[in-house]
Amino acid sequence: MTDWHQIVGLSGTVLYIGSYFLLQAGKIRGESITYSILNLLAASLVLFSLSYKFNLASTLIQVSWILISLIGLARILIQKQRKDTLVTS
C-alpha cells in the first residue's frame, strides 16, 4: 500500500511534468505566474515527501527550485507593479 507521503510526492512529480509539458506545448509561458506557481507547488510537495524518506541531493534540488520559483514570482510581480504604475501615471 502506498503511504500518503508518497502520494504527496507523486502529486508534485505530476505537477512538474504537467507544467513542463504545458510550457513545451506553448500553452503557458516560462515568464508566467502560472508556470512559477506550478513549479513552486511541485517542489514543495516533493520536498514534503522527503521529510519521510530523506535524501540530501533531492532535498537540495527541491529547496533550490523553491527559491528560484520565489525569485521568479517576485520578478514577475515587481514588473507588473511597475507596468501598472506607468499606465496610471
- Where exactly are the structural domains of the chain? 4-88
What's the pLDDT score for residue 22?
Answer: 98
| Torsion on CA atoms 22, 72, 45, 48, rounded to nearest 10 | 160
- Summarize pLDDT for 34-76 with one digit per residue, the tens: 999 999 999 999 999 999 999 999 999 999 999 999 999 999 9
Residues 42, 15 contacting (CB under 8 angstroms): yes
More confident: 87 or 71: 71
